[in-house]
């Protein structure tokens, strides 16, 4: 396969960026999208040019490090797939592919396709946990958890923190990400004591980071590589509303 790539190049956060065009030759169907970029980069490097900066680590779709807009879609057009798991058999010979970083106020571009997603960490710092000291846990079987709640909790816990939901949202909202953590912990008996303080603290930080609010577009769940259901946002909003009564002083 032969492809034309239009790639966003930007030296650093303070410089303006622009698209550059590259020809990718000798692409095979078995290659992953990032391996295709590796080949382009190796050629650039051997020629003494600076390669396209992009992030990836596990290349198994679980670490959440990779992610860019491919032809306008976060992680590309294949459903429930991270950029690293997208394969070239999904593209046609001769195609032009436009590659850009995730764009959102809360995710400043650091270089080329790399953005700063540390806002996600700061949201978790505010309460995305159950406060339990190491060593003070009761026996794991002390509390039985019904399978349905455990499974739904797991569905939400599967979030990899890649940020595609924010990139796809016209409001650049981080509500699928935040709602997933609220739902994961809020459905478990262990998560109950901090349930309402958690939702208040995390949503407050989410707003501070410059993320927008949900208007029920649903783009987030469509691009989510882990298929996090949109009802986690309803769960979060419901908990936030309840918290206003429960935590009334």
Partner 1 sequence: MSIELKSHEPDGPIETAWDRHRQSINVVNPANKRKYTVIVVGTGLAGASAAATMAELGYDVLNFCFQDSPRRAHSIAAQGGINAAKNYQNDGDSVYRLFYDTVKGGDFRSRERNVYRLAQVSVNIIDQAVAQGVPFAREYGGHLANRSFGGALVSRTFYARGQTGQQLLLGAYQAHAKMVNAGKIKMFPRTEMLDLVVQDGHARGIIVRDLVSGALQRYAADAVVLATGGYGNVFYLSTNAMGCNVTSTWRAAKRGALFANPCYTQIHPTCIPVGGEYQSKLTLMSESLRNDGRIWVPQSAADSWNAEAGKVGRDPRQIPDSERDYYLERRYPTFGNLVPRDVASRAAKRACDEGRGVAYNGRGVYLDFADAIQRLGRDAISARYGNLFEMYERITGDDPYETPMRIYPASHYTMGGLWVDYNLQSNLPGLFVVGEANFSDHGANRLGASALMQGLADGYFVLPYTIGHYLGEVGPRSNDADGADFKGAEEGVKARLSKLISVPGKRSSESFHRELGRIVWDECGMARNREGLSSAIERVAALREEFWENVSVPGSDTGLNQSLEKAGRVADFLEFADVLLRDALTREESCGGHFRSEHQTDEGEAKRDDENFCHVSAWEFKGVGVEPTLHKESLSFEYVPPSQRSYK
**Residues 69-98 contacting partner 1, CB under 8 A:** 81, 85, 87, 89
Is 204 a binding residue for partner 1 by CB under 8 A? The answer is no
Is 9 a binding residue for partner 1 by CB under 8 A? The answer is no
Q: Tokens standing for 159?
A: 């979030």
Is 3 a binding residue for partner 1 by CB under 8 A? The answer is no
Q: Binding pattern to partner 1, positions 126-165, x when CB under 8 A?
A: xxxxxxxxxxxxxxxx--xxxx--x--xx--xx-xx----
Shortest spacing between CB 215 and partner 1, in angstroms: 28
In terms of Cα–Cα distance, which of 223, 231, 217, 82 is closest to 152? 231
- Smaller CB separation from partner 1, 19 or 154: 154
Residue numbers 104-123 binding partner 1 by CB under 8 A: 110-111, 114, 116-118, 120-121
Judged by CB under 8 A, which of 6, 9, 59, 103 binds partner 1? 59
Whole-number Cα distances in Å, 134 to 86, 130, 131, 143: 39, 12, 10, 18
34 within 8 A of 53, measured Cβ to Cβ: no
- Smaller CB separation from partner 1, 44 or 240: 44
Q: Tokens standing for 240?
A: 């936030």
Whose tokens are 């459905």? That residue is 187
- Smaller CB separation from partner 1, 158 or 217: 158
**Interacting residues of 197 by C-beta distance below 8 A, sequence separation 6+:** 127, 243, 247
91 within 8 A of 142, measured Cβ to Cβ: no
Q: Count interface residues toward partner 1 (CB under 8 A).
A: 76
């Amino acid at each position: 396969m032969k492809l034309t790539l239009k790639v966003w190049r930007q030296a650093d956060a303070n410089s303006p960026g622009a698209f550059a065009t590259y020809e990718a030759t000798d692409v095979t169907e078995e290659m992953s999208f990032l391996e295709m970029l590796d080949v382009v980069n190796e050629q650039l490097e051997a020629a003494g040019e600076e390669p396209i900066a992009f992030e990836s680590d596990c290349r198994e779709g679980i670490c959440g490090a990779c992610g860019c807009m491919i032809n306008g879609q976060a992680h590309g057009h294949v459903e429930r797939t991270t950029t690293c798991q997208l394969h070239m058999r999904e593209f046609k010979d001769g195609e032009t592919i436009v590659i850009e970083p995730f764009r959102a106020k809360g995710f400043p571009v650091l270089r080329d396709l790399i953005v700063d997603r540390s806002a996600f960490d700061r949201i978790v710092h505010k309460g995305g946990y159950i406060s339990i000291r190491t060593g003070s846990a009761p026996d794991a079987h002390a509390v039985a958890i019904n399978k349905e709640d455990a499974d739904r909790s797991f569905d939400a816990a599967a979030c990899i923190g890649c940020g595609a939901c924010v990139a796809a949202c016209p409001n650049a909202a981080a509500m699928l990400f935040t709602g997933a953590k609220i739902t994961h912990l809020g459905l478990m008996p262990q998560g109950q004591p901090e349930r309402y303080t958690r939702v208040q603290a995390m949503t407050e930080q989410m707003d501070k980071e410059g993320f927008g609010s949900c208007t029920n577009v649903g783009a987030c769940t469509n691009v989510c590589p882990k298929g996090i259901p949109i009802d986690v946002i309803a769960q979060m909003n419901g908990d936030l509303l309840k918290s206003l009564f429960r935590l009334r002083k």
